[in-house]
Amino acid sequence: MEKLMIRGGEHLSGRVTISGAKNSAVALIPAAILSDEKVVIENLPDIKDVYMLAEILQYLGAEIEHHDGTMVIDPKNMEPKPMLNGRVKELRASYYLMGALLGKFGEAQIGLPGGCNLGSRPIDQHVKGFKTLGAEVTNESGALHLKAKTLVGNRIYLDTISVGATINIMLAAARAKGQTIIENAAKEPEIVDVATLLNSMGVKITGVGTDIIKIQGTDRLKECRHSIIPDRIEAGTYMIIAAATDGDVTVDNVIPKHLESLTAKLRELGAIVEEKEDSIRVLGQSFYKPVDVKTLPYPGFPTDLQQPFSVLMTKAKGTSVITETIFSSRFRHIDELRRMGATAKVEGRTAIFDGPTELQGATVKATDLRAGAALVTAALIADGITEIRDIHHIDRGYENLEEKLVSLGAKIWRVIEEE
Ligand code: EPU
């Protein structure tokens, strides 16, 4: 078992370089298999999810070369082997293989990822999309079986704005006959990134970044080279850490526009945020004004930053409220923050913080990736040492977390215990 130990109280300062976006990477790797030729993806983050996807593609027959953040994917010898169990079930984003395999082979059999610590995560909108393109979809013993003689472009209205469904439908539609129109599409930058890759491969996609996306499919996709956008959630996490530790941190290799909602909220709290072309500097304060945050689809405040941001509310003088509109159970970190001394309660989809309160080091558990990021943030400002367990969640999504934090002056180390 591995755990992170953090001695809080340092004001972090310096520069940190942001890696490629996890939520782009997990879609771009499956997207690459739609090609008939080699695809090169650059600026991949060095995180577990990327290695797991590479392993899955190799199982399906792809040839993969992966080093120094670059992956060369040669899908020539791939086959749509059934994947009912194993790796696919561990990795939520393996659902992108449904759209990619359906588009490429007209069939896929994939074990459904179970529920997760964010609450129920249905994929009904993905399935609605596949069916509207002409696929037969059945659920047999916990696995989805998808089959289509021919996929034909069509008009699909998403009943819920969904990042995953928008991307998955784009993947299947990339090789469908004719035009697909996705209405009420999600607008996240990662969707634009996937469309950029597909367009480089020869698909014609317009409207990404708006709520109507048009995809003109093609039956032959060519080789290309693509570099992933910076991870706005990793960047946002370091911006929050800078504000929390009353630090002075510049995050390099970011697209400031992707972080506008966080920048606005940090300024509302009282932190100083300076934006340059591809970097953002955050200067923290000892105490903050209370703020309310409501998570929304992009360009609203991201649910993925809600958990780390909540730590700042323990430094605000007064009552702050978070309303989580995307995932029903994204407050599991709050029990752990309470263990560290936060005054906070959860009522349905709302969390209410009364501050300021001094956090104390404690033994806590990361219940999911961003809960882990919240606990790291809390530990950095807590008095004494915090021990964070279940850090495999954190390793899924943050490249070189300890090295990056140590370079900013944090006292953080990893302990490996024998089981
Ligand atoms: N939803 C449905 N039906 C569907 C799909 C989604 O009801 O068919 C609901 C979900 O239950 C949720 C809402 O729609 O309430 C939005 O879900 P969405 O599909 O947008 O989320 P996702 O694609 O499963 C991605 C990210 C998440 C991020 C969300 C929201 C990836 C691999 N995951 O998930 O990232 O929180 O979008 O922005 O891209 C993370 O990085 O920690 C993470 C969980």
The count of C-alpha atoms lying within 13 angstroms of the C-alpha of 307, restricted to the half-sphere facing its C-beta, is 26
Characterize 297-334 residue by residue with b for buried, 16 or more Cβ atoms within 10 angstroms of its Cβ, and e for exposed.
bbeebbbbbbbbbbbbbbbbeeebebebebbebbbbbb
Q: Verify that 215 and 246 share a domain, yes or no.
A: no
The predicted pLDDT at position 243 comes to: 98
Q: Verify that 368 and 252 share a domain, yes or no.
A: yes
Q: Verify that 6 and 106 share a domain, yes or no.
A: no
Tell me the C-alpha distance between 152 and 119, whole Å: 34
83 DSSP β-pair partners: 110
Q: Is 92 annotated as a binding residue?
A: yes
List the one residue out of 271, 278, 286 whose CA is nearest residue 239: 271
What is the number of structural domains in the chain? 2
Probe target for ligand 1 pocket from 28, 121, 296, with the most ligand atoms within 8 Å of CB: 121
Tokens of 169: 């439908």
Query: What's the CATH code of the domain at 312?
Result: 3.65.10.10
- Residue with the smallest CA separation from ligand 1 atom 37 is 163
The predicted pLDDT at position 84 comes to: 86
Taking only the tens place, the pLDDT of each residue in 304-351 is 999 999 999 999 999 999 999 999 889 999 999 999 999 999 999 999
In 80-173, alpha helices (H): 87-90, 96-105, 124-132, 163-173
Q: What number does the ligand 1 atom closest to the CA of 119 have?
A: 11
The predicted pLDDT at position 28 comes to: 98
Q: Is 122 annotated as a binding residue?
A: yes
Q: Is 155 annotated as a binding residue?
A: no
Q: Verify that 194 and 314 share a domain, yes or no.
A: no
Catalytic, 116? Answer yes
Q: Which domain holds residue 361?
A: 2-19+230-416
- Residue with the smallest CA separation from ligand 1 atom 19 is 162
Tell me the C-alpha distance between 44 and 38, whole Å: 16
Whole-structure pTM value: 0.97
Q: Verify that 335 and 307 share a domain, yes or no.
A: yes
List the one residue out of 279, 278, 282 whose CA is nearest residue 308: 282
Positions in the chain whose pLDDT score sits under 70: 114-120
List the one residue out of 405, 397, 333 whose CA is nearest residue 367: 333
What residues contact 247, with CB distance under 8 A and at least 6 apart?
11, 12, 13, 241, 282, 283, 284, 408, 409
Query: Which of residues 172, 201, 227 is at a domain's end?
Result: 227
Tokens of 383: 């008095």
81 neighbors 110 (Cβ within 8 angstroms): no
In 33-162, alpha helices (H): 48-59, 87-90, 96-105, 124-132
16 neighbors 407 (Cβ within 8 angstroms): yes
Tell me the C-alpha distance between 127 and 322, whole Å: 31
Query: Which of residues 201, 227, 253 is at a domain's end?
Result: 227
